[in-house]
Amino acid sequence: MIIKIPSESAYKKLADLPVTKRRAYFSDHVLQPFTPKFKVQQLLTDDNWTSVYKMLATTCYLPEEIDKTQEAKINFMNDQKMFEDAQQAIQEELDSFAQKNIKIPVADYKYTIFLGKEMSAMLKLSEGYLGDGGIPGFLSMTLISDEKLKTKVGPLFAHECNHNIRYQFINWTPQVELCEWIIAEGLAESYVAEKYGKSMIGPWISKTDNSTVEQVLKPMFKDRMHIQGMNEIMPYIYGDQIGKMMGYPAKGLPYAAGYSLGYHLVQYYLVCTGKTIEEATILPAAEILKGATAFWE
């Protein structure tokens, strides 16, 4: 079952509430259904959802910031087609795996959409939208109130749903290797490219041209694919601009470097092996690397 968490009605209600009651309302009506996800991420550090809101504050409007002056943004969020597109993307992806006789263990998927801040440095880099789908059963999107971004809802949820499916078959640990993370991102965006067309791939791929992939990314990543640990690999995944925001040292890498390299690696693997994107999604990273050894040449 695909379960919509109606953030749009929550945003509308927030504007009518006293500012002191807004955070509790949003926690109860939007965040509470994602409790298992936040527990896995170790974000439930107190009863006030402090760590969750600290994370959201980097990209989203917080509940106390939603008032009558935000009416245009509230109306933007109330477009039901965005939620319908999200649900359709999730359902179609689940169906595509079922059609390949891949049995997916998780039955229920909760999703929602958060209102993004235009001034967020993170969202400026990602052209106004981003997603979260690494914990099976939970998916979300954050986007600014820009009509042009509504076409990105389906592809973004397809990307996140691909992560949801992969991590029902692949075990993610804090000691994850760089190759696993970049391949996961490459698989997710390769699914988008196949189902929606390459014109719909995200800026985390499209901002990096082929010459940069060949001349910068391949040499940098080739002998580092097995480095481990979140703090070690995140600068390679996100590149220098986001890495600086997170306090990591620069590596000489463009925005979302790991995403882009992963996409090109997976595309190469799919062509070389003839595997479908559904088949590849549930394979260990080591097997995909083995099938794409000539990628580095």
Q: Let me know: does 53 contact 38? Beta carbons within 8 Å.
A: no
- Over residues 215-270, the pLDDT tens digits come to 999 999 999 999 998 889 999 999 999 999 989 999 999 999 999 999 999 999 99
Residue 64 lies in a domain: yes
- Over residues 267-294, the pLDDT tens digits come to 999 999 999 999 999 999 999 999 999 9
Which residue, of 146, 166, 186, is where some domain finishes? Answer: 166
pLDDT at 42: 86
One domain, residues 19 and 106: yes
Q: Let me know: does 120 contact 127? Beta carbons within 8 Å.
A: no
Residue 172 lies in a domain: no
Question: How much of the chain, in percent, has pLDDT values that exceed 90?
Answer: 90
**129-132: strand order across its sheet:** 2-4, 109-115, 138-143, 129-132
pLDDT at 270: 98
Q: What is the mean pLDDT of residues 110-134?
A: 96
What is the three-class DSSP state of 121?
Answer: helix
Nearest-10 Cα torsion for 191, 150, 65, 29: -60
Structural domain of 114: 2-166
One domain, residues 236 and 277: yes
Residue 99 lies in a domain: yes
- The count of domains in the chain is 2
One domain, residues 112 and 22: yes
Which residue, of 133, 166, 199, is where some domain finishes? Answer: 166
One domain, residues 76 and 40: yes
What CA–CA distance (Å, rounded) separates 238 from 120?
A: 16
One domain, residues 32 and 149: yes
Which residue, of 166, 200, 235, is where some domain finishes? Answer: 166
One domain, residues 197 and 276: yes
- Between helix 257-273 and helix 178-196 the angle, nearest 10°, is 70
Residue 234 lies in a domain: yes
What CA–CA distance (Å, rounded) separates 52 from 31?
A: 9
CA 235 to centroid of chain Cα atoms = 17
Q: Which of 260, 77, 84 is nearest to 181 (CA)?
A: 260
Q: What is the DSSP letter of 200?
A: G
Residue 39 lies in a domain: yes
One domain, residues 118 and 10: yes
One domain, residues 25 and 147: yes
| Phi–psi pair at 190, nearest 5 degrees | -70, -35
One domain, residues 117 and 192: no
Residue 173 lies in a domain: no
On average, the pLDDT of the chain sits at 95
Q: Let me know: does 255 contact 241? Beta carbons within 8 Å.
A: yes
One domain, residues 137 and 277: no
pTM score of the predicted model: 0.96
One domain, residues 159 and 182: no
One domain, residues 241 and 106: no
